[in-house]
Amino acid sequence: LALAATAGLIASAAALRLPSVPAQPQANRPRIAAAILEGARFVRAEPHLAAIALVAIAWNSAFFALQAVLVPLALGPLGLSPAAAGVALGAYGAGLVLAALLAPWIGARTSPGFSLMVGPALSVAAVLAILAAPMGGAVLWLALGQFLLGFGPMLWQIAQTSLRQAVTPQGLLGRVGATMQVAVFGVRPLGALAGGALAAWQGPHAAVWLAAAGFAVSLLVLLRSPLPQLRALPA
C-alpha cells in the first residue's frame, strides 16, 4: 500500500507539471449530449474504429472477469504462497514494460495489423497457460500467462491508439476517445461481476474459462474485421 501511495504521489506531481492547454471558448463548445452522439456516430461509421470498439469491449469484459479471480485462484486451488503469487502476478507489469520498449522496433518491422492481432491472440495463449497451472509448475505457468497478458495487449493499445488518431479528424479526437472510454470502462465492472459470480458458483477455474471465451470472441471479431489487413496507417 505504501508503494502504491508513493507511486500515486509521483504521478500526481508529474501531472501538475504538464503544460496547460487554452480552454475552448464557451460559445464554440457543442452541448455535451450532442458531442457524445457525434463521437458515437463517427465510431460506428468508421470501420476501423467500430472494430476496435467491439474488440476492446469483448477483451475488457474477459480481462476483468479474469482479474476478479486470479488472487483466489493463486492462493486457493493453485496453492501458492502470497510471495509466490505476488511474483507470478507481477510478471504482468514486466510484460507491459517490455512491450512498450519494443513497440517501436516491432512497429518498424511489421504492419499495424500484426500489432493489432498480437493483443487478442496472446491473451488467448495467456489464459490457456493459466489453465495449465494445476498440472505442475503453477508459479511459472501463472507468470507466463500474466506476462503475455501484459505484453500482447500493450502492443495492441499502442497500435490502436495510433490508428484511432490517424483516422479521426482533429476536432473529433476528444469525442471519439470519450466514446471508446465509456464503452470500455462501462463493461469492466460487468466482466468482474460475471467472473466473481461464476467463481462463487462453480469455482475460480470456471471464471478462467469464461475469460478464455471472452478473449476468443475478441480475437474472432478482430479476424473478421479490416484490422488484420492493415499494412500501414491511413494518411
The predicted pLDDT at position 180 comes to: 92
Domain presence at residue 96: yes
What own/partner pairs with CB < 8 Å and gap ≥ 24 does 25-29 have? none
Residue type, 73: L
Domain harbouring 113, CATH code: 1.20.1250.20
Q: Which of 123, 115, 121, 120 is nearest to 99 (CA)?
A: 115
Domain presence at residue 10: no
Domain presence at residue 5: no
Give the relative orientation of helices 47-75 and 82-109 as an angle to the nearest 10 degrees.
Answer: 160
Kindly give the confidence (pLDDT) of every residue in the chain, 235 residues in length, as a single tens digit, with 9 standing for 90 and above. Answer: 666 677 777 777 776 777 765 655 555 666 777 888 898 999 999 999 999 999 999 999 999 999 999 999 999 999 999 999 999 999 999 999 999 999 999 999 999 999 999 999 999 999 999 999 887 789 999 999 999 999 999 999 999 999 999 999 998 999 999 899 999 999 999 999 999 999 999 999 999 999 999 999 999 999 999 999 999 998 7
Domain presence at residue 24: no
Domain presence at residue 212: yes
Domain presence at residue 83: yes
Domain presence at residue 9: no
Grid cell digits, residue 97: 514494460
For residue 84, give its domain range: 33-223
Residue type, 114: F
Number of structural domains the chain divides into: 1
Domain presence at residue 81: yes
What's CA 107's distance to the chain center, in Å?
A: 19
